[in-house]
Amino acid sequence: MMIKKPANNWQQIWEPSIDQHQVGLWLYQTTQAANALCGNKGLKLHYPLKVALQQGKKGILTFGGAFSNHLAASAIACQQHQLLSIGLVRTDQLDTENPTLKHCLASGMQLVPISRTDYRLRSNPAWLAQLQQQYPDFLIVPEGGSSMLGVQGVSELDLTKTPHGNSQFIVTATGSGGTLAGLALGNPDAQVLGIAVVKDLSLPARITQWCPQTNNWQLITGYTGKGYGRFDAQLLEFCLDFKQRHQITLEPIYTGKAMSALYQLIAQGAFPKGSSISFFHTGGLQGLAGLRYRGSLTEADYQILAAQG
Ligand SMILES: Cc1ncc(COP(=O)(O)O)c(C=O)c1O
């Protein structure tokens, strides 16, 4: 098998099954290092951090589940910028042995548990206004970092310039939608496909609100499986196999689900012959330790996936 590993952030994903369909597949990683800020995280947090500093805020307040990549990234980003961070965690009780929450605490984040019922209010303007009153010195960043500021950061990433020329398609995992909107805005000559990893009927409207003038994006909803955070043995096998073949770690919640969907789309002939596809590796590798902690990954599988490329 031929693997081209350029010194930059691109790696060609070559497989006979892809070649057979006469498309080129390129994976883009912001960094090979598996830190919590890699992938889309640093991009989505860039402007919120800037605004918090400009407005003289003490820090950032944001939301997430107990294993949230976004919470982990926000904690570390704030620490790096000498800002405080508060994470509202969707849980009845904080489990400080959970690796994600442990990391957040070690990075100085103050964690506040909130019930599932309250968490549902996270986009409710009245609830947010009340929260802002309670924490006037903190910039409130929505779940997943998806807001106009987050979208702006992602839109600065040009994913069409592969080492082998321009790509016509960009593929990314989609959770809260900001990454898809940002890529669509920043790459107007490409078609951007978001593979939904969550069942959320409100997503298309939310994405439209961030990029109302663009129609170069599509949300693909057929590969979510049983829902957010759920994966089957086949998907895990795909991630393990991908690691062995390409020395790139995918996790089964976001990037693995999206890449597996992309392989299926390629196999169905969904892309015209001769076209080039860029896949955005959005990070999320900090979540692997959480999957092992929950017993969703065996120690052996964790060791394979977590090993450096
Ligand atoms: C690893 C990873 N990939 C993809 C996404 C999806 O990005 P978005 O929420 O902007 O759709 C997330 C969530 O932020 C994520 O953690």
Q: What range does the domain containing 270 cover?
A: 10-30+154-306
Confidence band of 30 (pLDDT split at 50, 70, 90): confident
Residues 114, 259 share a domain: no
Tens digit of each residue's pLDDT (9 = 90 or more) over 174-191: 999 999 999 999 999 999
Lining residues, ligand 1, CB within 6 Å: 39-40, 69-70, 144, 146, 173-180, 254-255, 282-284
* Å from CA of 281 to ligand 1 middle: 10
**Same domain? 70 vs 89:** yes
Domain annotation covers residue 3 = no
> Who contacts 281 (Cβ-Cβ below 8 Å, separation ≥6)?
27, 28, 29, 30, 39, 248, 250, 255
pLDDT at 8: 72
Lay out the sheet containing 276-281: strands in order across: 10-12, 24-29, 276-281, 169-174, 191-196, 217-220
More confident residue, 300 or 1: 300
If you take atom 1 of ligand 1, which residue's CA is the nearest one?
Answer: 284
- For the CA of 251, the nearest atom of ligand 1: 1
SS3 of 145, please?
helix
pLDDT reported for residue 34: 56
If asked whether residues 164 and 18 sit together in one domain, one would say yes
Both 180 and 291 in one domain: the answer is yes
Residue 266 maps to a domain: yes
In a domain? residue 5: no
The least confident of 41-45, 121-125, 155-159, 305-309 is 305-309
Q: What is the tally of structural domains in the chain?
A: 2
Whether residues 173 and 108 share a domain: the answer is no
214 lies in a domain?
yes
Nearest atom (ligand 1) to Cα of 182:
10
Sequence-distant (≥ 6) Cβ neighbours of residue 179 within 8 angstroms: 40, 43, 44, 146, 154, 172, 173, 194, 280, 282
Atom of ligand 1 nearest to the CA of 254: 3
Cα 70 to ligand 1 centroid, rounded to whole Å: 8
What is the predicted pLDDT for the residue at 107? 97
Determine the distance separating the centroid of ligand 1 and the alpha carbon of 157, expressed in angstroms. Answer: 15
pLDDT computed for residue 6 by the predictor: 41
Q: Are residues 108 and 256 in the same domain?
A: no
pLDDT the model gives residue 239? 98
For residue 4, what pLDDT is reported?
39
Q: How far is the CA of 20 from the centre of ligand 1 (A)?
A: 30
Expressed in angstroms and rounded, the spacing between residue 144 Cα and the centre of ligand 1 is: 7
Q: Is the pLDDT of residue 7 over 70?
A: no
Choose one of 145, 176, 194: the last residue of a domain: 145
pLDDT at 309: 66
Ligand 1: distance of its center to the CA of 265 in Å? 20
pLDDT tens-digit profile of 199-234? 999 999 999 999 999 999 999 999 999 999 999 999
- Measured from the Cα of 172, ligand 1's closest atom is 4
Query: Which residue's CA is minimally distant from atom 12 of ligand 1?
Result: 175
Please report, for the domain that includes residue 97, its CATH number.
3.40.50.1100
Share of the chain above pLDDT 70, in %: 96
Asked if the model's pLDDT at residue 270 lies above 80, the reply is yes
pLDDT at 32: 54
35 lies in some domain: no
As given in the structure block, the two tokens for residue 2 are 């031929």
Give residue 105's identity as a one-letter amino acid code: L
173 alpha carbon – ligand 1 mean position (Å): 6
**24: Cα separation from own chain's centroid:** 23
Pocket test for ligand 1, best of 31, 40, 67 (most atoms within 8 A of CB): 40
How far is 181 from 248, CA to CA, in rounded Å?
A: 25
User: Mean pLDDT over residues 98-122, rounded?
Assistant: 96
Mutational pocket test of ligand 1: of 37, 148, 179, the residue with most ligand atoms within 8 Å of the beta carbon: 179
- Which residue among 84, 116, 145 closes a domain? 145
What is the Cα–Cα distance from 211 to 294, expressed in whole angstroms?
Answer: 37
Index of the ligand 1 atom closest to the CA of residue 255: 3
What's the mean pLDDT in 18-30? 95
Ligand 1 center to 282 CA (angstroms): 6
Strand pairing report for 217-220 and 169-174: unpaired
